[in-house]
């Protein structure tokens, strides 16, 4: 029975697709059988990041009932499997997105982890992605607009009685004015699964002629390692999830105060 995790942010451009792709690869590297599903049926681009170009059968066909999930499953890097979403606007308008729940249910016995890349917003497409999952992993930037939107997404998850496992903080640079990890955990009342630094190499990986996830483009970079850390925490191989009520002491305070790198 697999763990089904929806990656949700509320706001667009926060890094849901980047997290889904790289977390999927990192979990695969740990030896797990992983499927990623692009549930962003209107603005899909997970397949571009994974490197599956122009797939003939997509999630749209599965949601329309004209193809099986197996027919829409493709091979990505490091044995990662992907069900991409289609680019057709007419199909997008025809699909019954609520069928995603039963589709994911039918795949649960085949994988260790199923990661669902949810769309931005809190509309019915996001609700379907949340409802198809067993847990929700929030992702936010350390900025007020992003935290406000992820908060709304968390409220929607509560309405649906879905479990929010934690939050990942993306594009973290430690500059003055950013909302701290502690403050984000306090507001969302969930633990942090880690921080991904704001890094040029992630941006570069999107500018390549053929886009690559950072774990493939620059496997040894700090950004890649932060995705691996999150994967280890999720798979239980590293029990370092930062709880919102972490104890503070003088030593940790001084270390934080004099540390150059606040990440």
Partner 1 sequence: MFKGITSLISKFSNRILDIEDSLPPRGLESLLEYRAINLSSKDLDDFLLKLRSKHLVNHIIVTDLDGIVIGSTDKDLKEGFKSAAMYNYINSEVKDLSIILIESKGWQIIFKNNNKVYFIKANDNLTRIEVQALVNDLENYLKFIK
Instruction: Classify the C-alpha dihedral 99-91-123-243 as positive or negative.
Output: positive
Say whether residue 240 binds partner 1 (CB under 8 A).
Answer: no
Say whether residue 106 binds partner 1 (CB under 8 A).
Answer: no
CB of 198 to partner 1, least distance (A): 18
Say whether residue 204 binds partner 1 (CB under 8 A).
Answer: no
Closest residue by Cα to residue 15 from 249, 192, 223? 223
CB of 126 to partner 1, least distance (A): 10
Instruction: Classify the C-alpha dihedral 183-189-191-197 as positive or negative.
Output: negative
CA distance 203 to 206: 5
Say whether residue 179 binds partner 1 (CB under 8 A).
Answer: yes
State the helix-helix crossing angle for 144-159 and 124-131, rounded to 10 degrees: 60
| Options 2-10, 49-57, 65-73, 127-135: segment touching partner 1 (CB under 8 A) | 127-135
For strands 81-83 and 74-75, give the pairing: antiparallel
Say whether residue 155 binds partner 1 (CB under 8 A).
Answer: yes
**Given the complex with partner 1, which of 150 and 234 has the nearer CB atom?**
150
**Given the complex with partner 1, which of 207 and 250 has the nearer CB atom?**
250
Cβ–Cβ contacts within 10 Å for residue 166, how many?
A: 23
Question: Environment class of residue 206 by beta-carbon count within 10 Å: exposed (0-12), middle (13-18) or buried (19+)?
Answer: middle
How many chain residues touch partner 1 (CB under 8 A)? Answer: 26
Question: Environment class of residue 258 by beta-carbon count within 10 Å: exposed (0-12), middle (13-18) or buried (19+)?
Answer: exposed
| Options 37-45, 107-115, 122-130, 234-242: segment touching partner 1 (CB under 8 A) | 122-130
| Options 43-51, 74-82, 182-190, 220-228: segment touching partner 1 (CB under 8 A) | 182-190
Q: Which of 105, 159, 163, 203 touches partner 1 by CB under 8 A?
A: 159
Q: Which residues bind partner 1 (CB under 8 A)?
A: 98, 101, 124, 127-128, 131, 144, 147-148, 151, 155, 158-161, 176, 179-180, 182-183, 187, 249-250, 253-254, 257
């Amino acid at each position: 029975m697999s763990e089904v995790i929806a990656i949700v942010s509320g706001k667009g451009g926060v890094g849901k697709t980047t997290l889904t792709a790289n977390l999927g690869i990192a979990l695969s590297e740990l030896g797990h059988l992983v499927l990623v599903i692009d549930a962003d049926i209107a603005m899909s681009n997970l397949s571009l990041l994974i490197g599956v170009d122009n797939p003939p059968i997509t999630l749209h066909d599965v949601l329309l009932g004209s193809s099986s999930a197996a027919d829409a499953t493709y091979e990505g890097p490091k044995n990662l499997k992907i069900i991409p979403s289609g680019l057709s606007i007419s199909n997008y308008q025809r699909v019954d997105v609520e069928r995603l729940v039963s589709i994911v249910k039918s795949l649960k016995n085949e994988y260790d982890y199923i990661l669902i890349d949810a769309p931005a917003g809190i509309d019915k497409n996001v609700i379907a992605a949340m409802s198809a999952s067993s847990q929700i992993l929030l992702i936010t930037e350390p900025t007020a607009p992003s935290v406000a939107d992820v908060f709304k997404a968390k409220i929607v998850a509560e309405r649906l009685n879905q479990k929010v496992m934690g939050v990942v903080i993306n594009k973290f640079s430690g500059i003055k004015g950013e909302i701290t990890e502690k403050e984000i955990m306090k507001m969302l009342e969930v633990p942090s699964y880690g921080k991904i630094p704001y890094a040029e190499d992630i941006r570069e990986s999107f500018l390549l002629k053929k886009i690559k996830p950072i774990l493939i483009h620059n496997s040894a970079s700090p950004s890649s390692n932060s995705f691996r850390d999150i994967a280890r925490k999720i798979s239980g191989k590293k029990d370092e999830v930062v709880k919102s009520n972490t104890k503070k002491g003088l030593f940790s305070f001084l270390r934080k105060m004099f540390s150059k790198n606040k990440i």
